[in-house]
Amino acid sequence: MTLRVAIPDTSLTDCTDLRQKTEKVGSLARALAVFRVETVYIYDTGKLSNEMKRDVSLLSKILRYMDTPQYLRKQSFPKSQSLKFAGLLPPLRTRSHPLETKINELQEGSVRWGLQARPGQIDLGFDKLVNYPKTVSERDPTLFRVKKIKPQIVLEIIEREDVSDYWGFRVERVYNLAKFLEESDDSTRIGFSRKAPFFNQIEKDLKSTIAGTQSVLAVFGGPSHGILEFFENEREIVKSHIDFWANTIPDQGTETVRLEEALFVSLGLLNSSVGTIITKPGFHM
């Protein structure tokens, strides 16, 4: 069961400065985490000027920064101008961002991100480092599970897929959306558009299809272009690889709907309709 989301590389083009861009990415990340998205893809549109292409790296960096637990951010992300307004970002408070800091609070079976702090020792965000015989990255977090706590702590490396609860999101780039959609035919591919049928009109067929795939790839347009408007030369190809088109905000009261607003509304409807089929458990089930 998986829920994946694809957003365009133009996602920040409606922002005028670094502060606005940072705050927008914070809202996007909150939507992704609230509705338990496992992977967010940033797809290439070919619509960005050379100057604006820097925003793609910024979008990816801040999303990855937010998914990283607070206790590892300084090591994973050295101080830089692009993170000048990181203090404005809201905490995600996913299970992958634990608050415990005392080593005596560690329990068998606990899962935590960690980094190599020094030879033979891992930083898991506690007041003491934990011994581990192998070498892992000092910059990119590794996921650990606690196998034993007595007579000494024993760790094992695992993958996100091995965790039964929701454990945050990956960030990846997609350079050819048409090809990516074609290769994602094992998922139910949904394109969101104000020109599409209302969500309640397709919900019955959508639920039936998702019950079979147990996987959704939700594709969104950007601030000034819908999905198909990005790909004038590949319009029919892209269109043919979308299983359902949905309008989740019929009769919208504003001329435009921002990407972060579309994410909250659309993913919220999916969560209410098929969330238990496509996502791992979160809080307050």
> In the chain, where are the structural domains located?
2-91+165-277, 103-162
Residues 6+ apart with CB under 8 A from 272: none
- CA angle 199/236/182 to nearest 5° reads 80
Q: What CATH number should be reported for the domain whose range is 103-162?
A: 2.40.50.140
Token pair 């098929």 is found at: 274
| Integer Cα distance of 193 and 262 in angstroms | 10
pLDDT in the model for residue 285: 61
pLDDT digits over 54-92, tens only?
999 999 999 999 999 999 999 999 999 999 999 999 999
pLDDT digits over 96-131, tens only?
999 999 999 899 999 999 999 999 999 999 999 999
Q: Which CATH number fits domain 2-91+165-277: 3.40.1280.10, 3.40.30.10, 3.90.1720.10, 2.40.170.20?
A: 3.40.1280.10
Taking the alpha carbons of 66, 68, 74, 77 in that order, is the dihedral positive or negative?
negative
pLDDT in the model for residue 284: 77
Quickly state the pLDDT bin for 194 (edges 50, 70, 90). very high
- Nearest by Cα to 131 from 113, 118, 147: 118
> Side-chain half-sphere of 265: how many Cα atoms within 13 Å?
18
pLDDT in the model for residue 277: 94
| Integer Cα distance of 140 and 274 in angstroms | 33
Q: Is 246 exposed, middle or buried (0-12, 13-18, 19+ CB in 10 A)?
A: buried
pLDDT in the model for residue 50: 86
Quickly state the pLDDT bin for 214 (edges 50, 70, 90). very high
Quickly state the pLDDT bin for 1 (edges 50, 70, 90). confident
Residue 232 pLDDT > 90: no
For 68-150, where are the alpha helices, taking DSSP H only?
A: 73-76
